């Protein structure tokens, strides 16, 4: 029989994962701790919360991109229901752009099972596939994605265990060696490893990205109200995609 262990309520109380929302959680947990608690079923320690905060801050905002363009256009046509614009923007947080943290984490989980002896072989197999390697390389940040070393430093300072981060760095070194040149570990790779090190399940990783991006979209919707860009985007898009007779 179906059941849920997330939340229930009665006349005078609300219970979330067995805790009293009012007395145990409101005012006691940060947003990030509550997100972790709700998703993982246990409270994070301070170091885990610190690292999760850093990951969420890192991916929250990406400027004018498909997701924010979509949110701004929808906000212009459905101005009274901002959740519709946010939802529309989030639809674009798909596997193509946002799935790489999760995919990188899946590679690391597999590698952990196989042991470090499999690092070189994995590196070679990934390169041989000819596909982009999840968590490696970056179109705009060269030679290195500046976010990854910062994230690793935050994790080190926080003092979390670094099993997967360490494995990711070894995989990176092996990829560099096999390729004969340096390929950066990008922010999505670093986040994939860090999420595992703070014991977030792989299936939660993309959802956490979506949560972080909902915050970024909020900023764009507010800016769109005071400094609208939607009509400009529409006009420029129409100009950039002219009609050609079939």
CA distance 236 to 117: 53
Instruction: Judge residue 231's burial from the number of C-beta atoms within 10 Å of its C-beta, 0-12 exposed, 13-18 middle, 19 or more buried.
Output: exposed
59-78 positions binding a copy of itself, by CB under 8 A? 60-67, 69-70, 73-74, 76-78
92-111 positions binding a copy of itself, by CB under 8 A? 92-98
Is 137 among the residues that bind a copy of itself (CB under 8 A)?
A: no
Helices (H), 41-99: 46-59, 66-77, 82-91, 95-98
Is 164 among the residues that bind a copy of itself (CB under 8 A)?
A: no
Give the CA dihedral 89, 70, 136, 31, nearest 10 degrees: -30
Is 195 among the residues that bind a copy of itself (CB under 8 A)?
A: no
CA distance 160 to 219: 31
- Per CB under 8 A, the segment of 123-131, 159-167, 174-182, 203-211 that binds a copy of itself is 203-211
- Per CB under 8 A, the segment of 103-111, 120-128, 168-176, 212-220 that binds a copy of itself is 212-220
For a copy of itself, which residue of 121, 146, 161, 163 counts as binding (CB under 8 A)? Answer: 146
Is 183 among the residues that bind a copy of itself (CB under 8 A)?
A: no
């Amino acid at each position: 029989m179906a059941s849920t262990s997330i939340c229930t309520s009665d006349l005078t109380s609300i219970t979330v994962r067995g805790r009293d929302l009012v007395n145990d959680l409101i005012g006691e947990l940060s947003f990030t701790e509550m997100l972790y608690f709700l998703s993982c079923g246990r409270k994070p320690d301070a170091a885990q919360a610190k690292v999760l905060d850093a990951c969420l801050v890192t991916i929250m905002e990406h400027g004018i991109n498909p997701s924010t363009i979509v949110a701004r256009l929808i906000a212009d046509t459905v101005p009274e229901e901002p959740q519709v614009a946010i939802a529309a923007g989030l639809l674009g947080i798909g596997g193509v752009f946002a799935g790489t943290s999760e995919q990188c984490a899946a590679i690391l989980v597999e590698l952990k099972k196989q042991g470090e002896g499999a690092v070189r072989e994995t590196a070679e197999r990934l390169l041989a596939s000819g596909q982009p390697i999840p968590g490696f390389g970056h179109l705009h940040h060269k030679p290195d994605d500046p976010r990854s070393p910062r994230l690793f430093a935050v994790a080190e300072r926080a003092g979390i265990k670094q099993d997967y981060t360490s494995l990711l760095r070894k995989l990176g070194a092996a990829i560099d060696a096999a390729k004969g040149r340096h390929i950066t570990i990008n922010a999505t790779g670093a986040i994939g490893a860090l999420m595992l090190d703070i014991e977030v399940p792989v299936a939660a990783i993309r959802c956490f990205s979506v949560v972080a991006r909902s915050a970024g979209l909020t900023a764009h919707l507010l800016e769109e109200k005071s400094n609208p860009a939607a009509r400009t985007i529409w006009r420029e898009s129409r100009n950039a995609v002219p009609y050609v007779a079939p």
